[in-house]
Amino acid sequence: MNNENNYHISFFKPTTDRAKYNRNMVIWLIGIWTVAIFGFHILLRVIEKPTPEPQLIAFNEVWENVKSNNASNDEIKTFANSALHVAGKVFINTEHRAALDNGISWATMQLADSSQKVALTSAIANFETATENAQAITDANYIQAKKELGALSIAVLGLNPDEVLAKILSLELRSSGIEKITDENISIIETCMPHYTIHNRSVLTDTKFLGFPFHYFYSAVFLLILFIGLCWLYCYRVDKYNEKIGIAD
Amino acid sequence: MNSIRKINMKKLILPLIMLGMPGLLNAATAATELEGGFKIGPAIILITILCVFVMVGVIFRAKDTTDFYAAGRSISRTGSGMAIASNWMSAASFLGMAALMYGSGYHGLAYVVGWTGGYVLLLILMAGQIRKYGKYTAADFIGDRYYSQSLRATGAIIAILISISYCVGQFAGIGLMFQWILGLDFTWSVIIGGAVVLTYTLISGMLGVTKNMQIQYIIIIVSFLIPLFILTFKFDYFWVLPQIGYGSVVSDITNGIPAASELMNSMGHEFAITASPEYSMPWDIATGKTFFQWMAIAFSLMIGTAGLPHVIQRFYVVPKASDARWSVVWGLFFICILYWSAPVYSAFGKILSASPEVGKLSKDAIVVYTAQLGNVHPLIVGLLAAGGVSAAFSTVSGLLVAGASAFSHDLYVKVINPEASPSKQLRMARLGTVLMAIIVTMIAMLKLALISQLVAVAFSLAGCTIFPLFLLGIWWSGSNRQGAIAGLIAGGFISLLSISYFVCDKMGISLPFSEFMTYYLGAWYFAWIGAPLAILVNILVSKITPETPIEIRKFLIEKVHS
């Protein structure tokens, strides 16, 4: 050790048994760590398939007719349901929601008979006024106007009052959108429907584990357990080895 | 002595709590508003907690420089683990983590994985060796290992920049929670919060801070967990272990929940949601996030974790290298308790705020809003908000100490005035703390970005600069001063480039290749390329320049790797 050239430290070229032991352990642990994090996600990426929701399939079947104003009532209803489904999604963009609202309002009005049309137009206008004037959603006028609009509109679309779409329908209707779907909004609807309804799915996302989608459980729960396990293993083995060769910190 | 301290503490704390109780009970209902107004119950809880922090700081105050910087090297493994966790669990973890998943679904898990996986690197590559090196600060290590005063000063400046960037996010979190609880203006919330955290950091130094951190950890974790049990119980999920029970919540969001049950949120909306697979599916188009971003964020945060000066500095406060190692295991375990729990808030938050009538909620406060929307008792919501403040405080105190150490120890004592007396050093440390707090308060008041965004910048900066210097400095004696400087320049260049594009983008200034640069060198994840580049440049330049001096190599063999 008196030779100056002996004073070199390199992780990959250990000179003592202890350093070799440490290097091998670190390589193993980092290998497991890398495969567990990046390997799993590369696998997730490789096997995933863009999978459309049923609402998109239904939308695609009727959209051309809706767009060209040749749709039957059933087709308009299908369109309204699909659009409403997307408008109620958790990550909806404000501009996209406004375009969908235009589509939903127009479709609802198309499905209404003449007496319903008058009542709906008035109910939408009342609800908009009540929304403007309300200080909170507990405001009595607001609640009443919403209730009236809800009752009228869900009957027109044939929704079950207990389903989620029925609960949000009155909030999506706009008096500015009842006449027609604007060209700009047609273009936005075309773009945003697949945007929200195609998802990267695979066996890893569709398998359930402890109630979770498997991949979600893996990243949110299992990886953290693995990290603690790897750390514990390292400390335990280093202590054991140090004990074995009689080294104290 | 310790038991006397404990008794004294009880004598001081109990009357405060007793004084606060009637107010707490009478004012419980005042905390039900989602926004606005002064909420007296949560305010009393917050003030009580802050008083406890200051008193603990006073009781365990620093007596000399060793106490101030390294807590007298007397903290136990579990205690140090709790301090690591508390120091780590910032407003970004407590508030920002759920906010990220609330805002971007599965993409947010990249932060969970990144902020925990980095501890594996930290432990197996650095923790024990750093403790054996026996220095006070990150810059100390860099200056000694690379035998350069200019690198020491640069290291200190980087440590200060990282601390400031990290602190700004915390001050923003403090401002947000003070605003919610006290109904104060954001600016005043930041100023008051900053003044309190500065007061006890100044009084106590790291010894008091470490004791505080153990108490803070308990407050943080208890306040975070209680609402989870209540939420899972109320909404009929497996409540015994909410961290597992919420799996069904995630699946319910994916498949949709019909509005058939009688369960309601606090605004009277059914516990229902349309099928939203975009919440749980990986890199969903609807979230606007990609596979590349997921991987780059996870990697950058992991590298950054292993390079953060205030995290590295925690290893100096344990007596032995093995304690440093085990404190990481304990620290990670304590951190994971919070990280397993944070996604629960975002999942419940998504359903409880699904009705358009709830309106757009501030993502950074979604933890508190979720508890409110879930009809959790207002006092528990208040405790939760106080826990959020506590999380920010615990991190800020550690950051201020790290920044102050870099200022006084690495810049003033080692570069400017090596003859400074211990009392002068302590004065400079305190001056450094004050200066940092003032700068951070001023930047935080500008509201530049979200909490987690500001914090993530600090991680990438640490990953590009400090991490390569520590990694090569410990594991390869061939890495020399010239290599370190070149590597630092490379890492610094990538950092500067990314941050410049980010700032210009925020200011509406369009730079060439802006879209390409902001995507591939995003401010939250530029370390994915910056760190490997800095390591590569360091190795190449070291290979073609004179060898590391024999004394350094000897020291590495005989002390660090002995």
CB contact under 8 A, A231 and B120: yes
Residue B209 has pLDDT above 80, yes or no: no
**Whole domain around residue B252: which residue ranges?**
2-458
CB contact under 8 A, B251 and A211: yes
User: Are the C-beta atoms of residues A144 and A137 closer than 8 Å to each other?
Assistant: no
Region A225-243 average pLDDT: 93
* Residue B464 belongs to a domain: no
- The alpha carbon of residue B443 is apart from the nearest alpha carbon of chain A, in Å, by 30
From chain B, pick out residues whose CB is under 8 angstroms from the CB of A220: 109, 112, 340, 343
Q: Between helices A183-197 and A54-67, what is the axis angle to 10°?
A: 160
Among partner residues B113, B247, B286, which is closest to A210 by beta-carbon distance? B247
* Residue B149 belongs to a domain: yes
Chain length of chain A: 249
The pLDDT of residue B1 is 37
CB contact under 8 A, A26 and B120: no
Over residues A134-170, the pLDDT tens digits come to 877 778 888 888 888 888 888 888 888 888 888 888 8
B552: nearest CA partner in chain A: A7
The pLDDT of residue B316 is 64
Residue B24 has pLDDT above 80, yes or no: no
State how far the Cα of B431 lies from the Cα of B423, in Å rounded to an integer: 12
Question: Chain-wide mean pLDDT for chain B?
Answer: 82
A216: nearest CA partner in chain B: B280
Over residues A98-114, the pLDDT tens digits come to 999 999 999 998 888 88
Residue A206 has pLDDT above 80, yes or no: yes
For testing contact with chain B, the best of A196, A202, A216, A242 (most B CBs within 10 A): A216
For residue B39, give Cα distances in angstroms to A201, B23, B45, B393.
45, 11, 10, 20
The pLDDT of residue B30 is 38
Residue B208 has pLDDT above 90, yes or no: no
From chain B, pick out residues whose CB is under 8 angstroms from the CB of A234: 123-124, 325
Name the nearest CA neighbour of B166 among B399, B365, B331. B399
Residue B27 has pLDDT above 60, yes or no: no
Chain length of chain B: 562
* Residue B547 belongs to a domain: no
From chain A, pick out residues whose CB is under 8 angstroms from the CB of B336: 224-225, 227-228
- Give the residue with greater pLDDT, B538 vs B417: B538
CB-CB neighbours of B234 under 10 Å: 15
Q: For chain B, give the percent of residues with pLDDT over 90.
A: 32
Name the nearest CA neighbour of A234 among A24, A15, A40. A24
Over residues B47-65, the pLDDT tens digits come to 787 777 777 766 765 555 5
Residue B36 has pLDDT above 70, yes or no: no
Over residues A45-54, the pLDDT tens digits come to 999 999 999 9
Region B88-113 average pLDDT: 89
Q: For chain B, give the percent of residues with pLDDT over 70.
A: 85
Query: Number of structural domains, chain B?
Result: 1
Among partner residues A45, A91, A227, which is closest to B286 by beta-carbon distance? A91
From chain A, pick out residues whose CB is under 8 angstroms from the CB of B285: 195-196, 198
Two tokens at B512?
């060439």
Q: Where are the alpha helices (DSSP H) in B406-480?
A: 422-444, 451-475
- The alpha carbon of residue B8 is apart from the nearest alpha carbon of chain A, in Å, by 36
Q: For chain A, give the percent of residues with pLDDT over 70.
A: 97
The pLDDT of residue B212 is 67
CATH code where residue B307 lies: 1.20.1730.10
Region A206-224 average pLDDT: 95
Over residues B494-544, the pLDDT tens digits come to 999 998 998 888 788 888 998 899 899 998 899 999 999 999 999 999 999
Of the candidate ranges A26-35, A44-53, B150-159, B338-347, the one whose mean pLDDT is the lowest: B150-159
B349: nearest CA partner in chain A: A90
Over residues A7-56, the pLDDT tens digits come to 788 888 888 888 889 899 999 999 999 999 999 999 999 999 999 999 99
b/e B429-452 (16+ beta carbons within 10 angstroms → b): bbebbeebbebbbebbbeebbbbb
Two tokens at A193?
């429907």
Over residues B275-294, the pLDDT tens digits come to 999 999 999 999 989 999 99
Which residues have CB under 8 Å from B413's CB, separation 6+? B420, B425, B428
- The alpha carbon of residue A164 is apart from the nearest alpha carbon of chain B, in Å, by 5
**Where do the structural domains in chain A lie, given as residue ranges?**
4-48+202-245, 69-199
CB contact under 8 A, B282 and A213: no
The pLDDT of residue B32 is 40
Name the nearest CA neighbour of B366 among B218, B201, B231, B532. B231
- The alpha carbon of residue B389 is apart from the nearest alpha carbon of chain A, in Å, by 25
